[in-house]
Structures are given as C-alpha cells and as structure tokens.
Amino acid sequence: MALPELVLTGYPPEDLLLKPAFINKNLEYLEKVKELTENLLVIFGFVGKTNETFNSAAIIFNKKLLAIYNKQHLSNYSVFDEERYFRKGEKNILLKFKENLIGINICEDIYCAEGPTKIQAILGGAELIINISASPYHIKKVHEREKMLHARAIDSRACILYVNIVGGQDELVFDGNSIILNAEGDIIARCAPFEEDFLVYDLDLEEVQSIRLKDAKFKNQRLELLKSEITEPKIIKIPFGELKKPSIKKTPNRQVAGKSTTLAYNNLISCKEEEILKALILGTKDYLHKNRFKKAVLGLSGGVDSALCAVIACFALGNENVTGVLMPSMFSSKESIDDSILLAKNLKINYLQIPITQIYFSYIENLKDIFKSEEINLTKENVQARIRGNILMALSNEFGWLVLSAGNKSEISVGYCTLYGDMVGGLSPLKDIYKTEVYKLCNFINQKFNNLIPKSILTRAPTAELKPNQKDEDSLPPYDILDQIIKSYIENDMDYDYVVNNLGFPAEIVKKVIKMIDSSEYKRRQGPPGIKITQRASGKDRRYPITNKFSEY
C-alpha cells in the first residue's frame, strides 16, 4: 500500500517544521501506523529526522520499519520552499519483493529525467517505481504530469505507481489523480480525481523483464549511468518468509477495487470548466471543514462573481449551510436586487437583506466637515464597500459563519477592489479566476444545471454600483483585453514591450494595466487566501516587494 508524500503532516507544513514538537508528533504517528501493518507492506511520506530534517518515505512491512528513503530533488520554486527546511537525500533504495525489485522516490524526484527513477530502474533493475507525491493542481497540470510520467516509464522501462495527495490546504488544491503506468507508458489504472479513493490493483511485473530484454537502448543506458559514478541503490529485502501471500482475486483489467473504472481522464472530467469547478469546490470545502467551519456567508451583489461564489459554496458545503446577504444602497438597481433574490431562491439558500443607506449617511454626516466635496468620489465608494465588509464580519462574529470574498483574479490583479471592503473574508475562492473565466464557469453551470444562475446576471454589464450609472469598463479596459494582459504579465512574466508587441494592444492600455498591477501589491498582501488555479496565482506563488522603484514604463 502506498500513501502520498508527507501524508502524516499535510503538505506543505511550512514553519511547523521548525518546531521540535511537530516533528516528534509526526514520529509518534509513524509508530502508530507501524502497528497497523500486520502482513502489509506500506510506503508513505513523513518528516525524517536525524541531525538533519528530510522529506522522507517510510517503508514498513509487518510492523517493521525496513528502510527510509529521503527525497533527493527538493522543490524550491513557485509555491514550494523545500530548501528552507529539508536536506537533500543522497541514497537510492530498492525493495526486494519476492522476485521483483521496487524503486521508491518522492514527487520532484521523478520529474528529473536523469534522476532517481532511472537510477533505480536501469542501474538497480527495479521493475516498479513507486513515487509518492504532493503535487498541487493548476490548469493543464494533470496533462503535463501524465505526459512526464509516460516519458519516465518509457525511458526507464518500468511500471510506475504514482500516488498523489487529494484535498485542499490553504491556497493549494491537490487533485489526487493517482495512476499506474506499465513499462510502455500506458496508464493501466486510475484513481478518481478531486476525491479520496483507494485502488487495489494486481500488477504483473513479469512483462517488464521481457520488454527490457527486447530493448537494445536499455543496455546502453545502463552503461551510461554506470560511467557517471552513480552508486548502486541499496537493496532492502522484505522478510516475507513466515507470511502467507495476500490473496487478490484477479479481474480482466486487474483492478479489483477503486472508484474510477476508466483509464481516460477525459471520461471523468469533460472540459476545463468542470475541472476548475471541481478544484474550487474541493478547495473551498476543505478550507472550511479543516478549519472547523460548517457554514459560510457572502454578499450577493447581483453580479456574476457573487453568483458563482454562491454556487461553489452550495456544492462545497450544502445549500443549507450558505447564507447570502443583500446589502443594497441608493445606487443599487432593482435588477440587481431581484436577481440576487432569484439566485438565492434557485440555490435554496437562506438570504438576508440589510440596507446600508442609513449607515452610509451617518458616516457622511460625521465626516462632512472633513471631506473636500459632496461628490461621490472614490473615498465615498470605498466607505460603502467597507460598510458591507463590516456587516458581513458582524454576521461572521455573531454566528460563526466564514465570510467568502467573491473577488476575481482580474480585479484583484489591478486593484479594482476595496481593501477591508469587498476584499473582506476568510477565503477568496475566485481569487485566481479571471473575469472571462468566471463567465465561462457560470455558463457551464447553467448548461449542466438548467439555468441555476439567472440569465440577466450574465448579460448585464459588470458594475460595482457604488455611484450612479457606474460600469467596470469606465475604469478598466474590456475584460477580454484586460485578462490577456494580466495573463501575459503575471503568469508568463512577459515584459511590458513584449506584451505590447505580442498581444498587439495599444501601448497606453498595456501601460495603464501594468501600472495598476504594480501599484496594488499592498492590497493583495492583505487579501484573504485564494485557491491556486492558474500557473501563477498570487500569494506564495508570486512574491513581490511592495517597496521597489522598478518600473518599465
């Protein structure tokens, strides 16, 4: 049985790794798990500790710790900081399992083409590689990962058992998607994506040797590896002797248990929108439940963002655990209010109406001698947004509901949002979803669930309704243009010149957007965590100084 990387502690444990008590508790649980392994081979991730700290795999058989493998290639980019905590492992391990050899490695190890997998398989002769992982989701990640595993199976001519964490932790969602590949790189078994699963598979390793015998290239690779001074992996024998062989009834496809019965990911997840929704729902559910919240509250503005956020909350928590709050002002249109009520009814969620007009005027009354004019300027817009923030937080304090902030990646990137206003919340589920993608997700939901989101929410021009006749496009370029600029600049690290030349938008628009992105870093720093969906989210994935004079424009 194989379980994921650092499964005992959750991934990433971050600075908890600096606490002796945390490491010790993890070692205590290693002992507890050991006691549960009668007649069982179990491989799982934990924090290894000598004088140094390691990202380790325990290899346990029948209540005995046979060996520990330490991760050799530490992940230290994007959201990962493993070099801060762990020492690199230096030894390869092979497990002798009856007639077969099994190589063990951890996550990033298998991404490295000339790394542990090849050494264990080609130099050591392992027919099966077990890789335990904590590989977080982003768009296209499943495809990229499986392409890599396919290549690694072929170039090491070994079966691969790839086991990934499933679930959410803070900004990360782990998509599971554990798979088994044969030595020709075909996926021969698959766990369900975005949910817990337990797969039992009776693997035939005999065919690996016959494939290898036919492969001339294979022998040359072995020579190449030997030339490069790599030590032979250490072989640990499983003390099988006294135990009877576990009996598994064979089936034609050799898979005897597990939720997923298809090998093709596309049969499980029909399109990008379904995949993203599953990630958002899992991330939201786990953030709340693991932090011991059962219920959530969010403002319903009549816009697409709060509509999508409400749908996600219902799928994640159950509609009986979601409360929507309408907080109309004198600038709210009848359509927004009607749509919000209709949405709440469609979703069968509890909703409250708390108008902010009177509260707003009491601020204006007390500040009128100080304000420069009576005009509804940015100051007064923000006062309204912050009144709503205060009301949502009051409900949170009073009833223990977690506030969901509905802001999307487009507006958070350019700072078109009010700090301590609409940015208030424990979680910001759409933080990494572009506005154009918000529409796509809403349309997908409406197709699948018979227009759950009122159509007029999707057709009305986006507006913050913080002053009369306000439209987002008064302050921002159209979202299809804006999103392309943000994607180029943030996700792809393109320079200003390159964005202008590559996308062909007017320099003035690009300049304005980049300037807005750069100058709103301070807002993002204080926003709630969101769920990583794109290749570059904000938060731990994009670490910018607030104070820096650099500018390209």
Task: Give the residue with the Cβ less far from a second copy, 230 or 393.
Answer: 393
Q: Is 129 in the site for a second copy (CB under 8 A)?
A: no
Q: How far is the CB of 123 from a second copy (least distance, A)?
A: 27
Pick the stretch among 74-82, 152-160, 181-189, 204-212 that binds a second copy (CB under 8 A): 74-82
Q: Is 324 in the site for a second copy (CB under 8 A)?
A: no
Q: Is 501 in the site for a second copy (CB under 8 A)?
A: no
- Which of positions 278-317 make contact with a second copy (CB under 8 A)? 286-287, 290-291
Helix (H, G, I), strand (E, B) or coil at 224: helix
Whole-number Å distance between alpha carbons of 105 and 93: 8
Whole-number Å distance between alpha carbons of 54 and 60: 17
- Which of positions 407-466 make contact with a second copy (CB under 8 A)? 419-420, 424, 426
Q: Are residues 215 and 155 in contact, defined by beta-carbon separation less than 8 angstroms?
A: no
Task: Give the residue with the Cβ less far from a second copy, 7 or 161.
Answer: 7
Q: How far is the CB of 100 from a second copy (least distance, A)?
A: 37
Q: Are residues 474 and 449 in contact, defined by beta-carbon separation less than 8 angstroms?
A: no
Angle at 41 between CA 35 and CA 47, to 5 degrees: 65
- Which of positions 21-50 make contact with a second copy (CB under 8 A)? 21-22, 25
Whole-number Å distance between alpha carbons of 454 and 110: 47
Q: How far is the CB of 545 from a second copy (least distance, A)?
A: 5
Q: Are residues 214 and 51 in contact, defined by beta-carbon separation less than 8 angstroms?
A: no
- Which of positions 193-212 make contact with a second copy (CB under 8 A)? none
Q: Are residues 322 and 313 in contact, defined by beta-carbon separation less than 8 angstroms?
A: yes
- Which of positions 332-361 make contact with a second copy (CB under 8 A)? 352, 354-356, 358-359, 361
Q: Is 273 in the site for a second copy (CB under 8 A)?
A: no
Task: Give the residue with the Cβ less far from a second copy, 18 or 223.
Answer: 18
CA nearest neighbour of 181 among 210, 201, 209: 201
Q: How far is the CB of 39 from a second copy (least distance, A)?
A: 29
Task: Give the residue with the Cβ less far from a second copy, 168 or 454.
Answer: 168
CA nearest neighbour of 427 among 547, 278, 289, 267: 289
Task: Give the residue with the Cβ less far from a second copy, 328 or 477.
Answer: 328
Q: How far is the CB of 415 from a second copy (least distance, A)?
A: 13
User: What number of chain residues touch a second copy (CB under 8 A)?
Assistant: 80
Q: Is 529 in the site for a second copy (CB under 8 A)?
A: yes
Q: Is 115 in the site for a second copy (CB under 8 A)?
A: no
Q: How would DSSP label each residue in 326-393? A: E---TT--HHHHHHHHHHHHHHT-EEEE---HHHHHHHHHHHTTTSS-SS--HHHHHHHHHHHHHHHH
Between 367 and 386, how does the x/- string for binding to a second copy read (CB under 8 A)?
A: x--xxx----xxxx-xx--x
Which residues, other chains included, contact 464 with Cβ-Cβ below 8 Å and sequence gap of 6+? 381, 385, 470, 472
Q: How far is the CB of 541 from a second copy (least distance, A)?
A: 9
Q: How far is the CB of 202 from a second copy (least distance, A)?
A: 34
Whole-number Å distance between alpha carbons of 370 and 441: 44
Q: How far is the CB of 514 from a second copy (least distance, A)?
A: 10
Whole-number Å distance between alpha carbons of 541 and 72: 23
Neighbours of 179 (CB within 10 A): 24
Binder to a second copy among 127, 155, 170, 422 (CB under 8 A)?
170
Pick the stretch among 52-60, 73-81, 248-256, 260-268 that binds a second copy (CB under 8 A): 73-81
What residues are paired with 404 via a beta bridge? 427
Task: Give the residue with the Cβ less far from a second copy, 96 or 540.
Answer: 540
Binder to a second copy among 3, 6, 12, 208 (CB under 8 A)?
12
Q: Which residues are catalytic?
A: 5, 71, 107
Whole-number Å distance between alpha carbons of 339 and 332: 12
Whole-number Å distance between alpha carbons of 527 and 547: 18
Q: Are residues 279 and 173 in contact, defined by beta-carbon separation less than 8 angstroms?
A: yes
Task: Give the residue with the Cβ less far from a second copy, 92 or 332.
Answer: 332
Binder to a second copy among 496, 513, 516, 534 (CB under 8 A)?
496
Binder to a second copy among 240, 363, 439, 444 (CB under 8 A)?
363
Task: Give the residue with the Cβ less far from a second copy, 303 or 389.
Answer: 389
Phi, psi of 105 (to 5 degrees): -150, 180
